Amino acid sequence: MFAIYTYGNTVLRKKAEEISKDYKDLDSLIENMYNTMYSSEGVGLAAPQIGKSIRLFIVDGSPMSDDDESLKDFKKVFINPQIIEESGDFWTVEEGCLSVPGIREEVKRKSKIRIQYFDQNFNYFDEVYDGLKARIIQHEYDHLEGILFIDKINPLRKKMIRSKLNNILKGKVDVKYKVKFAIK
């Protein structure tokens, strides 16, 4: 199991690098990421969140299948993804992030995406997603670009959560899963 890197760790702010087919121990890395995600009750986890600046994220939307039945079997690995188009109407969804514990805020994003990526076996896909699937992908994809959901909330809300963010920086927050705070 990996520790989750929390807000303030520089790896979360870097643009992640693509990987090749022969990236060392990829299968065990992915398996370990799934274990980490399940034990922290996330629906997505991007490699930078475990301290690795590579273009890889995993999702499993099944815990949210009460909100959207089709999330039940939405379990996927995205490698070297590129979102090539975002379309549809903007909509607002409350998001949270394992790297920003204790904070949930409404985030506005477009409802539909087209994404090109490789799966765990380096099969290539070009797919369109909408609704909550698109939302989960957009959130995880942002991690590969060094972006966090709190960058996308309205400035007033950002001001209001400033002290909470400072507490995360200092490690003064209760987290049920293993984390690596920026300041020890």
Q: How far apart are the C-alpha atoms of 132 and 19, rounded to whole Å?
A: 27
Answer whether 77's CB lies under 8 Å from 33's CB.
Answer: no
Answer whether 173's CB lies under 8 Å from 167's CB.
Answer: yes
Tell me whether residue 31 is one of the annotated catalytic residues: no
Give residue number: closest CB to Zn ion: 97
Site string for Zn ion, 55-94 (x = CB under 5 A): ----------------------------------------
Least CB distance from residue 43 to Zn ion, whole Å?
10
Catalytic residue among 17, 94, 106, 140: 140
Q: How far apart are the C-alpha atoms of 116 and 120, rounded to whole Å?
A: 14
Q: How far apart are the C-alpha atoms of 161 and 146, rounded to whole Å?
A: 20
Least CB distance from residue 135 to Zn ion, whole Å?
12
Residue 97 binding Zn ion, by CB under 5 A: yes
Residue 11 binding Zn ion, by CB under 5 A: no
* Positions marked active-site: 140
